[in-house]
Amino acid sequence: MELKRVVVTGIGAVTPLGNTAAETWQNMLNGVSGASPITHFDASKFKTQFACEVKDFKPEQFIDRKEVRKMDPYCQYALASAIMAVEDSAMELEKVDKNRIGVVFGVGIGGMKTYEEEVTSYAKTCDTIGPKFNPFFVPKMIADICAGHISIKYGFHGPNFITSSACASSTNALADAFNLIRLGKADVIVSGGAEAAITAAGVGGFTAMHALSTRNDEPQKASRPFSASRDGFVMAEGGAVLILEELEHAKARGAKIYAEMAGAGMSADAHHITASHPEGLGAKLVMQNALEDAGLQPADIDYINVHGTSTPVGDISECKAIISLFGQHAYKLNISSTKSMTGHLLGAAGAIEAMACVMSVNEDIVPPTINHEDGDEDPEIDYKLNFTFGQPQKRTIRAALSNTFGFGGHNACVIFKKYAE
């Protein structure tokens, strides 16, 4: 059978850089950091006291006030992002076949805040009045519920599920959505990711692993991928959504097309529960798989939005993988880590970074990697690579590739290219 073509016809986002996709993208291009001292809980006794929080988000603008109370923040970000993306797609909902519209979302953790609150409350009462739990505890907490809420909001009866592969979750979701449409199982899929783990347990857990930066005196400069002084990632939260649509379906309704989704790849490091393979074997394999799926050569890629978390091991191994796969072309393409600005959205990272790739292809501009300073070079990193340090760079972007790698050795990669008949 001939595979169908898939295009991006809508975007929506709630991120540390802005509460819309447009604001997020503009702040990426401006090199704005979303990092600041933590306000969601008292972090004064924690080793890490800052994060990239969503700011001034009012869920009631999107969701009925009574329903807001039944949703964990991660779910609120997911639903708000989806509402904005559906609106951006300009779909006439009364005219489309809702049985062929699905929701495939990526969530790494889910309702961390809800879980923490309920268990803390139980600990206070278990020895006195006994167990007392909110009846919405489970449906607020579970990671799949955001996909359910989105489908309920619109009456979308197509494929509906979430993927969970730690930091690769929403890239896996986009890959699954892409394949379902290619195979003719759906006309449209609302796909992306959401996460809200900036809680005492979330920050405390990652801090205990020595995964987070502790640069408390300079939060905005803490996420510094590919710099020798990098000391861990900066935790972030939010959501992002792409409307993926079968090409003929999009053309029939006169949809605007941002870019075409060209391919997706997956692989496993099979190496360690949290550390990436030191030589980047899984990273190389996943990019190779994505290129093969897209029918593209390494020389066809003009921009790589790297996983680039600002961790000591990960940044080195990803660079090795790029050089190994792309050869001399590695020095001709642009590379950037938008996590230097957004922080690491965990399960939602792939969605916001896919959005950055789509906008890069659409507007022919590469967002920067911020916070690198002269003299802060790591001898293990090849600086002949163009990391797009400091400022965005205008260039023709025929195709852009986005990498995400998750704890457990999960690797996922997606490619977007310019749409042409």
**Could you confirm whether 307 is annotated as catalytic?**
yes
pLDDT of residue 255: 98
Given 52, 167, 319, 357, the catalytic residue: 167
For 127, the token pair is 């020895």
Q: Which of 109, 6, 18, 2 is nearest to 356 (CA)?
A: 18
Q: Return the CATH class of domain 7-417.
A: alpha beta
| Alpha carbon distance 364, 400 (integer Å) | 10
Half-sphere exposure (CA, 13 Å, Cβ side) for 304? 31
Neighbouring-strand partners of residue 403: 413
344 is catalytic: yes
Q: How far apart are CA 277 and CA 280, in angstroms?
A: 5
- CA–CA separation, 148 and 7 (whole Å): 24
User: What is residue 108's predicted lDDT score, i.e. its pLDDT?
Assistant: 98
Residue 9, both tokens: 């016809």
Residue 408 CA: distances (Å) to CA of 13, 176, 272, 344: 27, 19, 7, 17
pLDDT digit string (tens) for the chain, length 421 residues: 899 999 999 999 999 999 999 999 999 999 999 999 999 999 999 999 999 999 999 999 999 999 999 999 999 999 999 999 999 999 999 999 999 999 999 999 999 999 999 999 999 999 899 899 999 999 999 999 999 999 999 999 999 999 999 999 999 999 999 999 999 999 999 999 999 999 999 999 999 999 999 999 999 999 999 999 999 999 999 999 999 999 999 999 999 999 999 999 999 999 999 999 989 999 999 999 999 999 999 999 999 999 999 999 999 999 999 999 999 999 999 999 999 999 999 999 999 999 999 999 999 999 999 999 999 999 999 999 999 999 999 999 999 999 999 999 999 999 999 999 8
Amino acid letter, 230: R
Sheet holding 160-163, edge to edge: 160-163, 101-106, 188-195, 238-246, 6-14, 259-268, 410-417, 399-406, 303-305, 334-336
Q: Is 277 a catalytic residue?
A: no
List the catalytic residue out of 277, 307, 372, 410.
307
Helices (H) and strands (E) in the chain, counts: 13, 14
Q: Model pTM?
A: 0.98
- SS3 for 285-353 is HHHHHHHHHHCCCHHHCCEEECCCCCCCCHHHHHHHHHHHHHHHHHHCCEEECCHHHHCECHHHHHHHH
User: How much is the pLDDT for 1?
Assistant: 83
d(CA 283, CA 307): 10
Which residue out of 149, 249, 344, 410 is catalytically annotated?
A: 344
By DSSP bridging, strand 365-366 and strand 334-336 are: unpaired
